[in-house]
Amino acid sequence: EAQVTQNPRYLITVTGKKLTVTCSQNMNHEYMSWYRQDPGLGLRQIYYSMNVEVTDKGDVPEGYKVSRKEKRNFPLILESPSPNQTSLYFCASSLFAGDGYNEQFFGPGTRLTVL
């Protein structure tokens, strides 16, 4: 089954304790992206990757890191989480379409709480 998976689905942690949220897709997609969802703000892009070893900042990258060592995986790293990073996180992926657009497939979301 074609899908985007995220782990963990729920996480409660404390300020300053490094964590990684994994994202994996089995559709051979070049493009992958991370979003965070907050009430009243919708979803905002954190980081994206056009392909292996190619990543760039989105609109809200502060406090986050990413890597793209393999095509299928795009982990989100919070090296020193703070309470303002409490949010719902989504990973998404798609085929690259040049001048057009291909539908992005979203993961199931990760609910992160930082105390």
Partner 1 sequence: AQTVTQSQPEMSVQEAETVTLSCTYDTSESNYYLFWYKQPPSRQMILVIRQEAYKQQNATENRFSVNFQKAAKSFSLKISDSQLGDTAMYFCAFTEAGGTSYGKLTFGQGTILTVHP
The residue ranges that bind partner 1 (CB under 8 A) are 31, 33, 35, 40-45, 48, 50, 58, 88, 90, 92, 94, 96-101, 103-104, 106, 108-109, 111
Question: Within 10 Å of residue 19's Cβ, how many Cβ atoms?
Answer: 16
Distance in Å, CB of 80 to partner 1, minimum: 26
Tell me the β-bridge partners of 110. Answer: 89
DSSP for residue 73? B
Distance in Å, CB of 29 to partner 1, minimum: 10
Distance in Å, CB of 97 to partner 1, minimum: 8
Task: For residue 83, give the nearest of 112, 45, 54, 49 by alpha carbon.
Answer: 112
